[in-house]
Amino acid sequence: MTEMNFIDLIASSRPRRKLTKIGIFILIGFILLIWSMLISPETERGRLIRMLLSLVILAGLVISVIKSVTRRKVLAKCSQEVSDLCLQEKWSQAIKPLRRLLGKPVPLSQIRYQGLLELAGVAEHTGQLKEASEIYEAIAQEQPHGLLGSLALVGKAIVLLKLDQLADADTIIRRLEVNVESQSLKSLVLLGRLYQQIKTGHYSDALTESSNKCEVARVGLSSKAAYVYALLSLAYRHEEMHASSDEETSNSPEADGGKAEVLWHRATMLLRPDILVEKFPELSELKEAYPSAPPLPGTSLD
């Protein structure tokens, strides 16, 4: 992990704002072409020079186009590789392709920002929380009004909660709740708010409209709805434990699991328990308390 400087990749991936070598070559060709037209407009020698310069410029343009197309294909392939690994939660395996992707200027903004979001995910899942927060913040600053910036802010809020910076995280979540731009963003903001309620011990608030929260997560997060199910499971477990303690019925079937166990089963059908705990360490007690479901057919076990 020490080989990869996450923060440096923000700057190294920024598109160049200066002429490339081929661009300079083409510009010099145009200048020489105009110069030749001025000093010898009608002579045979002048026409020959202009023809040669035109061919040189044309060759430069062709080379430039070929290099650009090739670079874009390489970037698209590398970006797809990173996305596939991150979707499978194989964060450590995504490091090398991320370095290839972001180690040089990326002219395609969509690929660059997607790569930076995935880089922040790698940093978060490998315990480099401060670096993850900085990367999310950089994206949000560069894309203050777009969906990508909002997604980055949700990611930053969750990281800040992990760092116990609860007030700053709450401020971000409240701001995002005012104007939710898409279903996927709505689901992620819900996840951030739910985690904040768990971190602060507001379990009853977390369980408000739990069925609706599950539906929003299912529609917007696909397999990652497991995080919402698992956090709700944790809230139910604490509420059940509190209720059983009050009623001195700690050996009752309800105190043994109930809704908490059902939701944990749903969560572990979608994502492995170790992946859930890696994202939210607070879920470790559920891994010990309840059996995990066998994975759905086609779910990766790697």
Query: What percent of the chain is predicted at pLDDT more than 70?
Result: 79
> What confidence tens digit (pLDDT) does each residue in 72-106 have?
899 999 999 999 999 888 888 999 999 999 999 99
Q: Does 23 score more than 70 pLDDT? A: no
Query: What does the pLDDT read at residue 222?
Result: 87
> What confidence tens digit (pLDDT) does each residue in 169-218 have?
999 999 999 877 688 899 999 999 999 999 999 999 999 999 999 999 99
Q: Does 272 score more than 70 pLDDT? A: yes
Q: Does 30 score more than 80 pLDDT? A: no
CA–CA distance, 49 with 40 (Å, rounded to integer) = 9
CA–CA distance, 285 with 144 (Å, rounded to integer) = 38
| Per-residue confidence band for 163, with pLDDT thresholds at 50, 70 and 90 | very high
Domain ranges of the chain: 1-117, 178-302
Q: Are 260 and 234 in contact (CB under 8 A)?
A: yes
CA–CA distance, 267 with 52 (Å, rounded to integer) = 68
Helix axes 147-162, 109-125, angle to 10 degrees: 10
Q: How many CB atoms lie within 10 A of CB 187?
A: 25
Query: What does the pLDDT read at residue 295?
Result: 60
Q: Does 280 score more than 50 pLDDT? A: yes
Tokens 């294909």 correspond to 73
Query: What does the pLDDT read at residue 145?
Result: 82
3-state helix, strand, coil in the chain (%, to 5): 75, 0, 25
pLDDT, greater one: 9 or 178 = 9
Tell me the pLDDT of the chain averaged across its residues.
Answer: 84
